[in-house]
Structure 1
Amino acid sequence: MDLEAVRTFLAVLDEGRFRKAADELGITQQAVSKRVAALEKELGVRLLTRTARGPEVTIDGQAFLPHARALLQAEARALASVRPGSRALRVDVIGRRLAPAALLRGFHGAHPEIELDVVTLFDADAAVAALRSGTIDASFRAVTMPGRQLPEGIEALPVLDEPLELLTGPAHALASARSVTPARLAGHRIWVPGIVSGTEWAAYYADLRAAFGLTIEVTGPDFGTEPLLDTVADSPELATLVGTGTRLVWPDSHDLRRIPVHDPTPVYPHSLIWSADNPHPALVALRDHLATTASGLSGTDIWTPSWARPRERQAP
């Protein structure tokens, strides 16, 4: 149905005259008459009759009237759902228990008036494709991967250098350590299920393994966080690595230990990425918030892959 014709029918009724409706809509009086006539032809009924006092609605017009208003209300809702500034800001956080989700929660706490739609995509390639297609507005990712650059039109803002911790069960040889060095982890089995070749986190762990001679195992299927914690808790040999911002909950009986890693501290480099031509006003607010709360580590006591540098932070 031609919604402009429906809008014109309602304007005639609301204004009481074809001429006033034409002025309200910014079209000619002849165009108003043609639109109403076309709508009547489509419906197969007469909606208005002309009288000396002006147009009057017919019985069929009265029956159609509430539906006509509902059609324009539905149109307004449909437009609002996709209009920048009206629809929710859609952000990919990689995982809902990981540090980027906490960053986004901080933004929501500072700007509760901004509606958010939180999603989780698989890897950086999927996130970039979603940004370019407009499926999402922003994503938290580690950039750039070795030998690759961000595609044209995709911008990035470093927002968090997240230190890694060693997670062990109570029987592990390092369970009582107050901190460990990467060199001390050499020879210990570190289990990180879920590493998928070609992803940004696979590139990170490959460089970490090479830099310190670590044994990082990916054996077995990835059944999620709980089975990982169960296995680590019961093992005297297996440990895993987690970010300091990763939220983990386990039964008291697990007695897991989160042990800081220093000299140097491996950090995972999180950046916000977005499409440069995205007009959503809330995206500007998100970038401004993260630019003022960005947590970057510097100095000789940190390690991150060479492809994650330089780490200069620029205003969005």
Structure 2
Amino acid sequence: MSDFELPDLKSLQTLAAVAEFGSLTSASTNLGVTQQAVSSRIRALEVRTGSELVTRSARGSQLTEAGMLVAGWAQDVLDAADRFEMAVRALRDARHLQLRVGASLTVAEHLMPEWLVAFQAGSGHPAAVDLAVANSRSVVEQVRAGARDIGFIETPDVPSDLESRVIGFDELVVVVGVNHPWARRRRAVSAAELASTALVVREEGSGTRRTLELALGALESPLVPDAPALVLPTTTAIRSTAASGSAPAVLSSLAIRDDVTLGRLVRVRIAGLALKRPLTAVWARSTTGLPENAERLLLIARTHAR
């Protein structure tokens, strides 16, 4: 067993806040703690990781390349902690009706929280929601196996043996860090150049990756993406890596909206390539149809996702 001691959640939350808000000062303001406390937590995290995470100068502070990577991992831990808290609360409410939901990463991170708030607000009695987050292929497998009452996926590949309904659409965009050559490029990148460029991507089975593959393959002169520069399991890790300028990434517009607004990522125009994908609900075929709670969540999703 490793003797590495995990950092506390407050330190991870602080580093994630520096990454999100761009400076120690802004992080302290948004966390409601002193700048001295923020600096102390960052220093402790640097000692724990053995890496310089933030560079400090008279002009301010910014994350190092290692800092951006660790911030991405920290966000993964914080997201997992949130899911843990949700799961524990659901366990406490086990006497109430339970809804087992599967969701792909983009849906779970950017759409599901709003849906679940509306779901619980409209419920006559508390309903425990068991949410499993996985890539689209895994969500389909869980629904098919009966482990989930309903699943939400973001891939164009919808299995014919399951019931399905399109609830909305999502645009994928190509993004790079501000120091990447494409960030300063005035003319659009061609689909052929995109296909021949090593990208930072999700694993096989990811709806985002599959959408890109299908879009390139559907061109008049079909293209196949080059081997990835890096394969990472989460959107947060991909965003951090792309922001470092090492390689471009293709991500949901939902996932990069704040990064583009704050200037951490730059959208790149791609000529002649449509990267729009359906967001689809899937469930097992049954003579009795969807459970009542699943039907209600589906209605909420269709209303909010469009």
TM-score range, shorter chain: 0.5 to 0.7
Q: Which residue number corresponds to residue 11 of structure 2?
A: none
Q: Which residue number corresponds to residue 93 of structure 1?
A: 103
Residues in 2 aligned to 1:215 and 1:129: alpha-carbon distance in whole angstroms: 26
Unaligned runs of 5+ in 1: 1-77, 296-316
TM-score (norm 1): 0.52
Q: Which residue number corresponds to residue 45 of structure 1?
A: none
Per the TM alignment, residue 221 of structure 1 is displaced from its structure 2 partner at its CA by 4.8
Query: Does structure 1 residue 246 correspond to structure 2 residue 258?
Result: no
Q: Which residue number corresponds to residue 268 of structure 1?
A: 277
Residues in 1 aligned to 2:132 and 2:227: alpha-carbon distance in whole angstroms: 28
SS at match of 1:195: coil
Unaligned runs of 5+ in 2: 1-90
SS at match of 1:235: coil
Residues in 1 aligned to 2:206 and 2:297: alpha-carbon distance in whole angstroms: 25
* Aligned-partner residue type, residue 209 of structure 1: L
Change (3 A) 1:129 1:241: closer
Q: Which residue number corresponds to residue 294 of structure 2?
A: 283
Query: Does structure 1 residue 166 correspond to structure 2 residue 174?
Result: yes
Q: Which residue number corresponds to residue 148 of structure 2?
A: 136
Per the TM alignment, residue 122 of structure 1 is displaced from its structure 2 partner at its CA by 4.1
Q: Which residue number corresponds to residue 222 of structure 1?
A: 232
Q: Which residue number corresponds to residue 232 of structure 1?
A: 242
Query: Does structure 1 residue 109 correspond to structure 2 residue 117?
Result: yes
Number of corresponding residues: 205
1:1-316 aligned at under 5 Å gives the runs: 81=94, 86-95=96-105, 98-113=106-121, 114=123, 115=127, 116-124=129-137, 126-142=138-154, 145=157, 149-151=159-161, 154-176=162-184, 180=188, 183=191, 185-186=193-194, 189-196=197-204, 201-211=208-218, 213=223, 215-222=225-232, 224-225=234-235, 227-235=237-245, 238-246=247-255, 255-259=264-268, 264-277=273-286, 279-295=290-306
Per the TM alignment, residue 94 of structure 1 is displaced from its structure 2 partner at its CA by 1.6
TM-score (norm 2): 0.53
Query: What fraction of aligned residue pairs are identical, expressed as a percent?
Result: 15
Residues in 2 aligned to 1:188 and 1:220: alpha-carbon distance in whole angstroms: 14
Q: CA RMSD in A?
A: 3.8
Which has the larger Rg?
A: 1
Residues in 2 aligned to 1:187 and 1:287: alpha-carbon distance in whole angstroms: 36
Residues in 1 aligned to 2:135 and 2:182: alpha-carbon distance in whole angstroms: 32
* Aligned-partner residue type, residue 265 of structure 1: A
The Cα offsets for residues 8-60 of structure 1, whole Å up to 9 and x where unpaired, read as xxxxxxxxxxxxxxxxxxxxxxxxxxxxxxxxxxxxxxxxxxxxxxxxxxxxx
Residues in 2 aligned to 1:90 and 1:247: alpha-carbon distance in whole angstroms: 28
Per the TM alignment, residue 205 of structure 1 is displaced from its structure 2 partner at its CA by 2.8
SS at match of 2:267: strand
User: Is contact 1:232-1:239 (8 Å) kept?
Assistant: yes
* Aligned-partner residue type, residue 212 of structure 2: Y
Q: More displaced, 102-111 or 282-291?
A: 102-111
Change (3 A) 1:160 1:87: same
Change (3 A) 1:178 1:141: farther
| Greater helix content | 2
* Aligned-partner residue type, residue 282 of structure 1: N
